Chain A
Amino acid sequence: MADIAVHTEHTHHEGYEDHAPHATSTGLSNNKLAMWLFLGSECLLFGGLISTYMLYRGRHEGGPGPDQIFDIPLTSISSFILLMSSLTMVLAVNSAKRKDDRNTNLWLVVTALLGALFVGGQVYEFTAFYQEGLGFTTSLFGSSFYTLTGFHGVHVTLGIIMLLALVAIINRDRITGDKAEVVELVGLYWHFVDVVWVIIFTLVYLIPA
């Protein structure tokens, strides 16, 4: 994923003859188009995982079910934190477009911290559920719950790594192409992961099984 984001040099070589680095047939840069396509593909990945969970959430013989273990207030708070990180991500993109490196870095770090808080909440939640008797192998509900939310957690974690790596390479001035676009690409990914969480939170936690 990061490779797509920092892959800016190739936008140059096509439109070379007409001196415009972004003269593509669609007008959208290669990197951005690629990120949209990747996210389109990711929709089907989460679609498959969510379908699996919806099929199995009622099947929890020999272990606790969703209604017994979910702590809605706690997860609501961590969901709120993750949604707020989308706001700070927007602020980072906005600063990058104004070529304001200092604020870009600031908001990227804040976004990463909020993301880390969310992942921390997930780790806490997983630990608590485990202690209440819901292991990965306990029941169909357990396997599909941990797989779905785990995949999402891994996506957030990769996002955090991307954000922090972005801060590092902005600081060292190592982005050869359009800096604001690179920030925007990571932003697209981040917002996607947030939107997926909105769906997961609604389907998994809020709608009673």
Chain B
Amino acid sequence: MAIIERPSAVPATVGGAAAPELVTPSRALGVFARPVSSTGWKSWLFTVDHKKLGIMYGAVSLFFFLVGGIEALLIRLQLAAPDNTVLSAGLYNEMFTMHATTMVFLFVMPMAAAFANYFLPLQIGARDVAFPRINALGFWLFLFGGIFLNTSWFLGGAADGGWFMYSPNSSALFSPSHGIDFWVLGLQITGIASLVGAINLIVTVLNMRAPGMKLMQMPVFTWMVLVVQFLLLFAMPVITVALFLLSFQRNFGATFFDVNQGADPLLWQHLFWIFGHPEVYIIILPSFGIISEVLPTFARKPLFGYKFVVFSGAAIGFVGWGVWAHHMFASGLGPVSVAVFSVATMLIAIPTGVKIVNWTLTLWGGKLLFSTAMLFSIGVIVLFTIGGLSGVTHAVAPSDTQQTDTYHIVAHFHYVIVGGAVMGLFAGFYFWWPKMFGQMLDERLGKWNFWLMFFGVNLTFAPMHILGMQGQPRRMVVWPEKLTGDGFFDLAFWNKVASVGSFVIALGVLLFVINIFVTAKRKVKAPLDPWDARTLEWITASPPKEHNFDRIPTVHALDEFFHRKYEEVDTEDGPRLVKVKTAEEILAEEEANADHHIHLPSPSYWPIVLALALPIIAYGVIFNLLLSVVGTALVILAIFGWCLEPSVADDSDYDPPAGGDSTKELATLG
């Protein structure tokens, strides 16, 4: 599908000289032909279409969300009763390590990548990302890295050092199984995915915006994704170094964390948290972006203080680099460091507070429509604020020293991650589902989904504040009956409440999964613009055509789509917004003025081959270095295949779609 030409119903030329020259493939390069399937499994395996990749990112992340959720339920089952024996101590360690790793690296980050992949090009009016093959590579690396990481369960046990894997506890002496090796190498692989994805999306945003779209006219979601990509760009290499040091130590006998040799355990902590704290904003900012799209849409008002929201997002990104040591207040950094990081951490509450205020004021005086997406967004405001407030208490170092490594910390970060990031992603599901699949998720099920999750989160994590303040340590496999206390501070009671709450959340998530199947089975088409939305992704068909836009839109304003639908008209009571066009009329207009020659990138075999080679190398590092040699050879082959394949498919390779449906684009080469 190198060039998609619309059927001849559209006038062929618009005046002689303007007709663009066709890009012709070079037949001389036929050694590595490009795949061309546009239907069937091959069209997914070799696709470079950002929308297909976005859907695949989403589906795989959702699967890992369920895996991580089951791990969480097992943890809560173990903690539901005193001296419980659901899990052995060793298995419990693996469970909480993999629960966190799965949720952070295999669910929240890639789910945000799913939305970013799908909607970022649509929101800036582009036909694809800057490097479509690299985009595909990112997805396959994430998938294979995630699978590789989870195969550790069957190959001698998973990682058991906690998600921040402190040294020297992570050395072979204390964790002799291969679990941590799998963890290290798996995260290296998904780390490459994040890095190449970051480069790709930054270039896409900076270089490929629709004509007329200034940076300050980009939707807030695009802005937040851009900030996140910069965080990834600079945070990933730091964790890469840390992971290399650890794997050199575990696999090749290096001494980086060997305390007998005089190693400094704080080295790991610094490297990990220099990555780990920006990571916190990598997790939350996409959701901030999503709800900044949802709230104005359902409040029927522009976002209050767009510039403040954008700049405070960027400010969070900057200040986020200067607060990492607040994770290390208990490690004896010295009073100056502690004071500096304490103040910096409090500072970050300012831009975050600005956002909360802006969202609230967006709702103020709006005609609120409480759709499921809106409910989830309001849920984010409420729950994230609770988590944010307990976060500020952790910035106060003396207080943090008491709370660190207790359930109070667990309560805090679950409020911001589940209550903030995850609820925001669910707002995204309900908001964008009609755009991605042309069908509305069931709103009634959706509201059950929301209320169960909302109550579940509070039921699970609010009691953890009490548990933590009473001193229940994080990561303890059992709590003994004789230490439970009584009255309001009865730990047994609150642990049971939290365990019940976790199953309420699970029920909410289950309803979401059911909703997906119910919706798919119902086969009811969604209206083109069900929410009366504001941004460019709604200007095109649902689901969007392969080339996104028939005509690349020219942008004149923030909320371009809204301004095409509504105009301000002077009436006796002053200016009023009047709907001048429907979404269907706008779409028809775009279709009538479609671009004649649309150049889309061809699918490619090489991203999946290259991605497949990395787990082979990783298995080799653990089991037999010969396997690594094979993997490396495959990497070299794949890179050369990648570079040497022709830039577009050859027309002789092309298999035209059967049926000859005249409304379907015919792909032909000029």
Chain A contact residues, CB within 8 Å of chain B: 2-10, 12-14, 16-17, 19, 24-26, 28, 30, 33-34, 37-38, 40-45, 47-49, 52, 55-56, 59, 61-62, 136-140, 142-144, 147, 165, 169, 174, 176-177
Contacts and interface: CB of A to CB of B under 8 A. Distances in A.
B250 to A, nearest CB: 12
A10 B642 CA distance: 13
Contact of B208 (A14, A52, A147): A14
B488 interface: no
A45 B233 CA distance: 11
Q: Give the interface size bracket for B toward A.
A: 35 or more
Given A14-B126, A45-B237, A48-B241, A140 B256 contact: yes
Contacts of B271: 48, 52
Contacts of A47: 237-238
A143 B203 CA distance: 37
Interface in B113-153: 126-128, 130-134, 137
B245 interface: yes
Contacts of A142: 255
A34 B552 contact: no
Given A9-B648, A10-B132, A48-B271, 12 more contacts: A6-B643, A12-B599, A14-B126, A30-B207, A40-B234, A48-B242, A52-B271, A55-B267, A59-B263, A143-B254, A147-B244, A169-B644
B483 interface: no
Interface string B154-168: 000000000000000
Contacts of B595: 16-17
A34 B238 contact: no
B195 interface: yes
A19 B51 CA distance: 26
Contact of A24 (B21, B207, B253, B264): B207
6 contacts: A2-B642, A10-B131, A19-B20, A24-B208, A37-B199, A40-B233
Contact of B643 (A2, A139, A147): A2
A26 to B, nearest CB: 5
A165 B643 contact: yes
Contacts of A165: 640, 643
Contacts of B235: 44
Given A17-B552, A49-B241, A140 B255 contact: yes
A13 B254 contact: no
Given A6-B643, A59-B262, A13 B255 contact: no
B131 A30 contact: yes
Contacts of A40: 233-234
Given A9-B647, A26-B207, A59 B238 contact: no
A9 B48 CA distance: 14
Contacts of A43: 237
A201 B74 CA distance: 52
Contacts of B647: 8-9, 176-177
B200 interface: yes
B241 A3 contact: no
Contact of B262 (A25, A48, A61, A169): A61
Contacts of A55: 264, 267
B53 to A, nearest CB: 15
Contact of A41 (B126, B131, B200, B234): B234
B220 interface: no
A38 to B, nearest CB: 6
B233 A37 contact: yes
Interface of B: 20-21, 23, 26, 29, 126-128, 130-134, 137, 195, 198-200, 202-203, 206-209, 233-238, 240-242, 244-245, 248-249, 252-256, 258, 261-264, 267, 271, 552, 595, 597-601, 639-640, 642-644, 646-648
A14 B207 contact: yes
A161 B23 CA distance: 30
A59 B254 CA distance: 14
B427 to A, nearest CB: 29
B649 to A, nearest CB: 12
Nearest to B270: A51
A91 to B, nearest CB: 24
Contacts of B198: 37, 41
Contacts of A19: 20-21
A43 B233 CA distance: 10
Nearest to B195: A41
B129 to A, nearest CB: 9
A9 B552 CA distance: 20
Contacts of A41: 195, 198-199, 233-234, 236-237
A62 B260 CA distance: 12
A147 B241 CA distance: 10
Contacts of B263: 56, 59, 140
A12 B24 CA distance: 12
A52 B267 contact: yes
Given A143-B254, A147-B244, A165-B640, A44 B237 contact: yes
Contacts of A139: 255, 261
A182 B23 CA distance: 20
B643 A3 contact: yes
A177 to B, nearest CB: 8
B644 A140 contact: no
Nearest to B244: A147
A37 B241 contact: no
B234 A44 contact: yes
A169 to B, nearest CB: 7
B261 A38 contact: no
Contact of B207 (A25, A49, A62): A25
Nearest to A35: B199
Contacts of A42: 237
A165 B636 CA distance: 12
Residue from B137, B254, B597 having most chain A Cβ neighbours under 10 A: B254
A138 B198 CA distance: 38
Instruction: Report the 9 A-B pairs with minimum CB-CB distance, sorted nearest first.
Output: A9-B647, A48-B241, A45-B237, A24-B207, A143-B254, A44-B237, A6-B643, A137-B253, A13-B599
Contacts of A176: 26, 646-647
A11 to B, nearest CB: 9
Contact of A13 (B21, B256, B601, B646): B601
A147 B597 contact: no
A198 B127 CA distance: 42
Given A17-B20, A33-B207, A139-B255, A48 B29 contact: no
A81 to B, nearest CB: 26
Contact of B20 (A2, A16, A26, A30): A16
B292 to A, nearest CB: 22
Contacts of B639: 2-3
Contacts of A3: 133-134, 137, 639, 642-643
Contact of B238 (A28, A44, A144): A44
Contacts of B249: 143
Given A3-B642, A9-B647, A33-B206, A143 B256 contact: yes
